[in-house]
Chain A
Amino acid sequence: MVRDGFIVTKIGVYVCHCGLNIAGVVDVEKVAEYAKNLPDVAVSRHYTYMCSEPGQRMVQDDIKTLGIDRIVIAACSPKMHEDTFRRAVSETGLNPYLTEIVNLREHVSWVHTHEPEKATEKAEGLVRMGVARVRLLEPLKNRRVKVEKSVLIVGGGIAGIQSSLDLANAGFKVYLVEKSPSIGGRMSQLDKTFPTLDCSACILTPKMVDAAKHRNIMLLTNAEVMEVKGFVGNYEVSIFKKPRYVDAKKCVGCELCTRVCPVKVPDEFNENLSEKRAISIHSAHAVPKIAMINPNYCLRLKYNKGVCAKCQNACEAMAINFEQKPEVNQVKVGAIILAVGSEVFNASKMAELGYGRFKNVISNIEFERISDASGPTGGKIVTPKDHKMLKTIVFVQCVGSRDKRFHEYCCRVGCMVTLKQAILAREKIEENVRIYVCYIDLRAFGKGYEEFYRRARDMDIDFIAGIPSEIHGSPDGSLYFDVYDKGTNKLLQITADLVVLGTGLVPNRDMGHLSALVHASRSADGFFLEAHPKLKPLESAMSGVFLAGACQGPKDIPDTVAQASGAAAKVIDLLSNGEIELEPLKAVVNKELCSGCNICGSICPFAAIEIHLEKAEEGAKYRAEVIEAMCQGCGLCCPACPSGAIKMPQFTTSQVLSQVEAALAEPLVKGGK
Chain B
Amino acid sequence: MSMAKPNLEARGKVLTKLHGREMVNCFQCMKCTSGCTALKLLELKPHEIIKLVNLGFVDELPTSDIIWTCVTCLKCVERCPQKASPYHVIMALRNLAVEKEAKVPEDYLKAVSHILETGLTDTPKKIVTRKLQTVDRDSLKLPKIKPPMESFQSALMKAMEEK
Contact = CB atoms under 8 A, between A and B. Distances in A.
B30 interface: yes
B81 A402 contact: yes
A484 B40 CA distance: 11
Interface string B10-39: 000000000000000001111111111001
Contacts of B47: 484
A144 interface: no
Nearest to A401: B81
A468 B34 contact: yes
B113 interface: no
B75 interface: yes
Contacts of B81: 398, 402-405
A402 B83 CA distance: 11
Given A440-B27, A441-B27, A491-B39, A469 B83 contact: no
B28 A486 contact: yes
A402 B26 CA distance: 12
Given A483-B34, A484-B33, A491-B34, A469 B79 contact: yes
Interface string B110-123: 00000000000000
Interface in A459-493: 465-470, 481-486, 491
A465 B33 CA distance: 12
A583 interface: no
A470 B35 contact: yes
A396 B27 CA distance: 16
Given A440-B27, A467-B29, A484 B83 contact: no
Given A469-B35, A470-B35, A486 B30 contact: yes
B48 to A, nearest CB: 9
A496 to B, nearest CB: 14
A484 B79 contact: no
B154 interface: no
A484 B79 CA distance: 15
B119 to A, nearest CB: 35
B82 interface: yes
Given A440-B27, A440-B29, A491-B39, A467 B34 contact: yes
Contact of B29 (A398, A404, A481, A482): A398
Contacts of B33: 466, 484, 491
Interface in B42-80: 45, 47, 75, 79
Nearest to B40: A491
A405 B32 CA distance: 15
Contacts of B82: 403-404
A482 B83 CA distance: 21
Nearest to B46: A484
B83 A466 contact: no
Nearest to B75: A469
A611 to B, nearest CB: 56
* Residue among B35, B36, B40, B47 having the largest count of chain A Cβ atoms under 10 Å: B35
Interface string B65-107: 0000000000100010111000000000000000000000000
B34 to A, nearest CB: 4
A240 B76 CA distance: 49
B112 to A, nearest CB: 31
A210 interface: no
* Residue among B27, B33, B75 having the largest count of chain A Cβ atoms under 10 Å: B33
Given A404-B82, A484-B39, A491-B40, A466 B34 contact: yes
Nearest to B43: A491
Contacts of B34: 466-469, 481-484, 491
B99 to A, nearest CB: 31
Given A405-B81, A405-B83, A466 B29 contact: yes
A404 B33 CA distance: 19
B41 to A, nearest CB: 11
* Residue among A352, A405, A484 having the largest count of chain B Cβ atoms under 10 Å: A484
A483 B27 contact: no
B35 A466 contact: no
Contacts of A403: 81-82
Contacts of B39: 484, 491
Nearest to B45: A484
Interface string A395-432: 00010001111000000000000000000000000000
CB-based closest 7 A-B pairs: A469-B35, A466-B30, A403-B81, A440-B29, A484-B33, A469-B34, A404-B83
Given A402-B27, A403-B82, 12 more contacts: A398-B81, A402-B81, A404-B81, A440-B28, A440-B29, A469-B35, A469-B75, A483-B34, A484-B34, A484-B45, A491-B33, A491-B39
21 contacts: A403-B81, A404-B81, A404-B82, A404-B83, A405-B83, A440-B28, A440-B29, A466-B29, A466-B30, A466-B33, A467-B31, A467-B34, A468-B34, A468-B35, A469-B35, A469-B79, A470-B35, A482-B34, A482-B35, A484-B30, A491-B33
Interface of A: 352, 398, 402-405, 440-441, 465-470, 481-486, 491
